[in-house]
Chains A and B, each alone.
Chain A
Amino acid sequence: MSLVNLAHVCSHLQNASKARLGLTSIPVSKLHVNLSLGLQREGFISSVTLGGQAPPTPYSLQKTLSPEEHEKLAETLAHSPWDAYPPPSENESSPSPLGREELVHHVKVPRNPAARRLWLGLKYWNNEPVLKNMKLLSKPTRRIWLTGDDLAKITRTRHAGYVKGMTHPGECMFLTTDRGILEARECVERRIGGMVLCRVW
Chain B
Amino acid sequence: MSICRPVRCLLTTPALPKPTSTPKRSFHASTPRAARRRRPHYPSIKASDLNLIDEAAAKNYPKYDTSEAALLSKKYTPSQIAAIQAAETAIDPRDLVTQAQHRSDPWLLPYEDDLAELDPITDHAEKLSAEDLPDRKGFREATNAEYQVAVTDLMNENIAKMYPNGVPDKNAAPEETRRLEESLQAAAMQASIDPRALYHSKTPELLNSLADPRHSVILPDLPRLDSRMAKQTQRIASDEVDDPRQKRLLQYLHWNKAALRNIKVKTLVTHGVTNQTRMGKIRSMYFLTIAGNQNGLLGVGEGKSVEPEEGRKQSVNAAIRNMRPIARYENRTTYGDLEKKVGATTVQLFSRPPGFGLRTQHLIFELARAAGLQDLAARTPRSRNKMNVVKAAWEALCNQKLPDEIARARGKKLVDVRKVYYGGPVH
A: residues with CB less than 8 A from B are: 42-44, 123, 125-126, 128, 130, 167-171
CA distance A128 to B408 in the complex (A): 12
Chain A residues with Cβ below 8 Å from B403 are 169-170
Q: Which of A123, A128, A170 has the most chain B CB atoms inside 10 A of its CB? A: A170
Chain B residues with Cβ below 8 Å from A43 are 409-412
- Verify B336–A167 contact, CB threshold 8 A: yes
**B401 in the interface (beta carbon within 8 A):** yes
CA distance A170 to B350 in the complex (A): 15
- Verify B405–A126 contact, CB threshold 8 A: yes
CA distance A71 to B336 in the complex (A): 49
Closest 10 CB pairs of A and B: A43-B410, A125-B409, A170-B406, A169-B336, A167-B337, A130-B409, A43-B412, A43-B411, A168-B336, A169-B335
**B402 in the interface (beta carbon within 8 A):** yes
Chain B contacts with A in 358-404, Cβ cutoff 8 A: 401-403
Chain B residues with Cβ below 8 Å from A170 are 401, 403, 406-407, 410, 414
Chain A residues with Cβ below 8 Å from B315 are none
**B351 in the interface (beta carbon within 8 A):** yes
- Verify B337–A42 contact, CB threshold 8 A: no
- Verify A169–B410 contact, CB threshold 8 A: no
In the complex, the chain B residue whose C-beta lies closest to that of A126 is: B405
Could you show 25 A-B contacts with beta carbons less than 8 Å apart? A42-B410, A42-B412, A43-B409, A43-B410, A123-B409, A123-B410, A125-B408, A125-B409, A126-B405, A128-B409, A130-B410, A167-B336, A167-B337, A167-B350, A167-B351, A168-B336, A168-B337, A169-B335, A169-B401, A169-B403, A170-B406, A170-B407, A170-B410, A170-B414, A171-B336
Chain B residues with Cβ below 8 Å from A125 are 405, 408-409
CA distance A132 to B253 in the complex (A): 35
Chain B residues with Cβ below 8 Å from A171 are 336
The number of A-B residue pairs with CB atoms under 8 Å apart is 36
B: residues with CB less than 8 A from A are: 335-337, 350-351, 401-403, 405-412, 414
In the complex, the chain A residue whose C-beta lies closest to that of B351 is: A167
Query: B399 to chain A: closest CB distance in Å?
Result: 9
- Verify A169–B412 contact, CB threshold 8 A: no
CA distance A169 to B406 in the complex (A): 8
Query: B379 to chain A: closest CB distance in Å?
Result: 13
Chain A residues with Cβ below 8 Å from B401 are 169-170
CA distance A43 to B407 in the complex (A): 9
Query: A4 to chain B: closest CB distance in Å?
Result: 27
Query: A145 to chain B: closest CB distance in Å?
Result: 25
Q: Which of B337, B351, B403, B414 has the most chain A CB atoms inside 10 A of its CB? A: B337
Chain B residues with Cβ below 8 Å from A42 are 410, 412
CA distance A44 to B409 in the complex (A): 8
Chain A residues with Cβ below 8 Å from B411 are 43
In the complex, the chain A residue whose C-beta lies closest to that of B412 is: A43
CA distance A170 to B406 in the complex (A): 7
Chain A residues with Cβ below 8 Å from B406 are 169-170
Query: B22 to chain A: closest CB distance in Å?
Result: 79
Query: A161 to chain B: closest CB distance in Å?
Result: 19
In the complex, the chain A residue whose C-beta lies closest to that of B401 is: A169
Q: Which of A44, A126, A167, A169 has the most chain B CB atoms inside 10 A of its CB? A: A169
In the complex, the chain B residue whose C-beta lies closest to that of A124 is: B409
Query: B15 to chain A: closest CB distance in Å?
Result: 90
Query: A55 to chain B: closest CB distance in Å?
Result: 23
Chain A residues with Cβ below 8 Å from B407 are 170
Chain B residues with Cβ below 8 Å from A168 are 336-337
Q: A130-B410, A169-B406, A170-B414 known; 17 other A-B pairs, CB under 8 Å? A: A42-B410, A43-B410, A44-B410, A123-B409, A123-B410, A125-B405, A125-B408, A128-B409, A167-B336, A167-B350, A168-B336, A168-B337, A169-B335, A169-B336, A169-B402, A170-B407, A170-B410
- Verify A126–B409 contact, CB threshold 8 A: yes
CA distance A169 to B335 in the complex (A): 7
CA distance A171 to B338 in the complex (A): 13
CA distance A167 to B352 in the complex (A): 10
In the complex, the chain B residue whose C-beta lies closest to that of A46 is: B411
Query: A199 to chain B: closest CB distance in Å?
Result: 13
In the complex, the chain B residue whose C-beta lies closest to that of A129 is: B409
